[in-house]
């Protein structure tokens, strides 16, 4: 037994309540090392009444297996002592407790779960589980009202730069609601829309006002109502790590220095003669036009909470995407979750991070994060083609194992965004590989996120090229890609197990460049086969005789050996007979 690989701590990462009477327990072991893993648990006041539960192996990567189990109690889960009985593949037993390993049943040194408080229960809005996001960069989506175009607005479709404007606005989005409804998306995440400098609007000057180039607060409110009527929710971009230099509180600091009542709202490096330079105050990165807020200041925290509450209360938005959330004092998000979730329990709080977001989604902070771990794995396998099928499977399984299973239902799984190259660009324009990546995204666990225009074949390098105008001329749209998105979105909605079921790797092969995985719930199972390889080598899979491919609606045939041929760059979605 590889004891050094075994890990469990009595922390939220390894044991947590999903109801006051229901606990999830997680354990890590070396890959392929165990034949049986069990948790032995008992109430501290009844040590002779011991229960045991076999843990299920949920995920595996190249080094570890990840086990999980659910314990249910008749009353509130409290004062539960526990240890593990581990049986390796040589049929040798070891007992694992808080003090380490022993050959005999431990007499003390147990792990202990103390109390399942109401606020400790891991729960997310039901609507947010497996929901389909659509990200809109407002200035480039659609121009519905030319009267609010800024000076020197360029013709729609002009090559984008970091300075030019194309006229996208709120009315433009509202006009395209029928298109969005037909596509099948369920939530729009809007890049910043508050009054701000630059076309990206990440340098906010007034947090309570829609930028005039997009419209008015009243027009925004009407658009939200129309989107809600169409069954589409709204998430706004909250830029609370930093402001713009024309934010009135920052202007007061520039004018008065340390004598300004807002001096401690920011992080200046000098007390007077403060100029617009990153040398005089802390910024996001070293970008002088975006001074960093002092989010450890209680006044700043109160301001942020007031802004968040204002747009929920007055305009009925459904959530916040929080810019560079991992650079903001974590107390802000803990306070936001406590106060806002009490008033608006169906609110979603989604943080931006470019790596593992465990810190953001633990400790009563945010619900979800932008899952760039997912993006990186999909990019490297389907786009850059620099990792094998096995390496891809390892990355995906490790990512799933790091998060709580409940959290993976609401992770924002993106292929690209306003901050990255377009995914079709990663694929070198290869539509076949792009479609495989889209299939994996939309058939995977979590909440797939579509960056506007991907569905019609828009490509482009990183900022500003990834922020092109949406293509509305149908003869310039890629109908093959658009139809592919619509078909997969419909599949996702038709089968609950694809939307919120479990994920399990069935097999993967580097030689055949093929991945097989299963999505399942208590009612049904869907098996997905993705073959990326472009070689003419024949690849055949067993066990598909008489099965229906939900993509082609064809009954699969088999050869005399009972195998089905899988062609290169293809996807099959099979409903498994229970």
- Which residues lie closer than 8 Å to 340 by C-beta, 6 or more apart? 305, 308, 309, 312, 347, 349
Same domain, 450 and 383: yes
* Number of domains into which the chain is organized: 4
Looking at the domain assignment, is residue 127 inside a domain?
no
Residue 545 has pLDDT above 80, yes or no: no
In the chain, % helix, strand, coil (3-state, to 5) comes to 30, 30, 40
Residue 454 C-alpha from the chain's centroid: 18
Looking at the domain assignment, is residue 30 inside a domain?
yes
Measured between alpha carbons, how far is 43 from 55 in angstroms, rounded to an integer? Answer: 19
- 213-227 confidence digits (pLDDT tens): 999 999 999 999 999
Q: What are the tokens at 142?
A: 């659609």
Beta strands in 46-160 (DSSP E): 51-54, 56-60, 64-72, 78-88, 93-97, 100-102, 111-115, 133-136
Q: For a pLDDT cut of 90, what percent of the chain falls above it?
A: 93
Phi, then psi, of 106 in degrees rounded to 5: -65, 145
Write down the mean pLDDT value for the chain. Answer: 96
Phi, then psi, of 29 in degrees rounded to 5: -135, 170
Looking at the domain assignment, is residue 327 inside a domain?
yes
Q: What are the tokens at 504?
A: 């399990």
The three-state secondary structure class of 319 is strand
Same domain, 451 and 516: no
- 3-33 confidence digits (pLDDT tens): 999 999 999 999 999 999 999 999 999 999 9
Per the CB < 8 A criterion, the answer to whether 58 and 405 are in contact is yes
Domain end call among 469, 497, 525: 497
pLDDT band at 542 (very low <50, low <70, confident <90, very high): confident
Among the options 33, 186, 237, 352, which is catalytic?
A: 352
Among the options 323, 367, 416, 454, which is catalytic?
A: 323
Same domain, 223 and 272: no
Looking at the domain assignment, is residue 171 inside a domain?
yes
Beta strands in 358-441 (DSSP E): 368-369, 412-414
Residue 544 has pLDDT above 80, yes or no: no
Domain end call among 293, 326, 354: 293
User: CATH no. for residue 265?
Assistant: 3.90.400.10
Same domain, 102 and 226: no
- Given this model, what pLDDT does residue 564 score? 82
Looking at the domain assignment, is residue 178 inside a domain?
yes
Looking at the domain assignment, is residue 184 inside a domain?
yes
Residue 562 has pLDDT above 90, yes or no: no
Looking at the domain assignment, is residue 126 inside a domain?
no
Residue 372 has pLDDT above 80, yes or no: yes
Across 119-139, average pLDDT: 96
pLDDT band at 539 (very low <50, low <70, confident <90, very high): confident
Please report, for residues 18, 20, 550, the alpha-carbon distance to residue 74 in angstroms, rounded to integers and kept in the order given.
Answer: 14, 10, 42
DSSP for residue 14: T
Same domain, 395 and 511: no
Same domain, 116 and 138: no
Domain end call among 477, 497, 517: 497
- Given this model, what pLDDT does residue 456 score? 98
Choose among 136, 83, 92, 86: nearest CA to 112. Answer: 83
Same domain, 98 and 16: yes
Looking at the domain assignment, is residue 181 inside a domain?
yes
Q: pTM value?
A: 0.96
User: CATH no. for residue 488?
Assistant: 3.20.20.80
DSSP for residue 82: E
- Given this model, what pLDDT does residue 177 score? 98
Catalytic residue flag (residue 65)? no
- 176-221 confidence digits (pLDDT tens): 999 999 999 999 999 999 999 999 999 999 999 999 999 999 999 9
The whole domain housing 572 covers 501-576
Same domain, 17 and 156: no
Same domain, 371 and 441: yes
Per the CB < 8 A criterion, the answer to whether 348 and 410 are in contact is yes
Catalytic residue flag (residue 323)? yes
Same domain, 213 and 266: no
User: Residue 231: is it exposed, middle or buried by C-beta count within 10 angstroms (0-12/13-18/19+)?
Assistant: exposed
Same domain, 319 and 269: no
Beta strands in 265-422 (DSSP E): 283-284, 287-291, 319-322, 348-351, 368-369, 412-414
Same domain, 325 and 462: yes
Across 545-554, average pLDDT: 87
pLDDT band at 578 (very low <50, low <70, confident <90, very high): low
Bridge partner list, 575: 526
User: CATH no. for residue 38?
Assistant: 2.60.40.10
């Amino acid at each position: 037994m590889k004891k050094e690989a075994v890990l469990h701590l009595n922390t939220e990462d390894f044991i947590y309540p999903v109801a006051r009477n229901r606990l999830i327990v997680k354990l890590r072991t070396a890959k392929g090392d165990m034949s049986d893993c069990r948790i032995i648990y008992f109430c501290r006041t009844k040590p002779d009444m011991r229960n045991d539960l076999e843990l299920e192996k949920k995920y595996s990567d190249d080094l570890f297996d990840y086990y999980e189990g659910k314990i249910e109690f008749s009353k509130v889960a409290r004062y539960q002592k526990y240890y593990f009985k581990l049986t390796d593949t040589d049929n040798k037993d070891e007992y694992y407790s808080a003090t380490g390993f022993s050959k005999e049943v431990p007499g003390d040194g147990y792990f202990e779960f103390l109390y399942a408080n109401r606020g400790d229960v891991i729960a997310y809005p039901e609507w947010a589980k497996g929901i389909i996001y659509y990200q809109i960069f407002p200035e480039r989506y659609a121009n519905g009202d030319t009267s609010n175009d800024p000076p020197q607005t360029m013709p729609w479709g002009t090559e984008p730069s970091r300075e030019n404007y194309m006229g996208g606005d709120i009315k433009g989005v509202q006009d395209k609601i029928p298109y969005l409804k037909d596509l099948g998306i369920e939530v729009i995440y809007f890049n910043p829309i508050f009054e701000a400098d630059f076309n990206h609007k990440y340098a906010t000057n007034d947090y309570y006002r829609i930028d005039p180039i997009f419209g008015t607060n009243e027009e925004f409110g009407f658009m939200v109502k129309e989107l809600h009527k169409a069954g589409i929710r709204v998430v706004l971009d909250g830029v609370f790590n930093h402001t713009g230099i024309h934010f009135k509180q920052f202007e007061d600091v520039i004018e008065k220095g340390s004598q300004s009542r807002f001096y401690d709202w920011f992080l200046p490096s000098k007390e007077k003669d403060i100029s617009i330079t990153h040398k005089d105050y802390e910024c996001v990165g070293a970008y002088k036009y975006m001074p960093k807020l002092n989010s450890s200041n209680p006044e700043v925290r109160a301001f942020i909470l007031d802004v968040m509450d204002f747009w929920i209360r007055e305009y009925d938005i459904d959530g916040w995407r929080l810019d560079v959330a991992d650079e903001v004092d974590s107390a802000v998000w803990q306070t936001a979750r406590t106060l806002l979730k009490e008033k608006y329990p169906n609110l979603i709080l989604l943080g931006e991070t470019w790596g593992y977001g465990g810190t953001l989604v633990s400790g009563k902070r945010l619900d979800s994060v932008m899952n760039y771990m997912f993006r990186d794995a999909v990019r490297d396998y389907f786009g850059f083609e620099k990792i094998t099928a096995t390496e891809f499977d390892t990355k995906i399984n490790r990512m799933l194992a790091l998060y709580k299973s409940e959290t993976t239902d609401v992770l924002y799984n993106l292929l690209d965004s306003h901050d990255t190259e377009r995914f079709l660009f990663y694929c070198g324009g290869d539509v076949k590989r792009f479609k495989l990546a889209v299939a994996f995204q939309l058939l995977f666990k979590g909440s797939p996120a579509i960056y506007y225009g991907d569905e019609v074949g828009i490509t482009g390098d990183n900022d500003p090229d990834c922020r092109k105008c949406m293509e509305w001329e149908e003869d310039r749209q890629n109908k093959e890609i658009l139809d592919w998105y619509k078909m997969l979105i419909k599949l996702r909605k038709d089968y609950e197990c694809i939307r919120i079921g479990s994920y399990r790797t069935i097999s993967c092969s580097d030689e055949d460049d093929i991945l097989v995985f299963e999505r399942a719930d208590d009612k049904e199972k869907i098996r997905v086969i993705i073959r990326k390889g472009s070689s003419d080598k024949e690849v055949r899979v067993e066990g598909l005789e008489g099965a229906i491919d939900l993509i082609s609606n064809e009954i699969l045939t088999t050869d005399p050996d009972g195998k089905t041929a899988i062609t290169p760059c293809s996807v099959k979605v099979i409903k498994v007979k229970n």
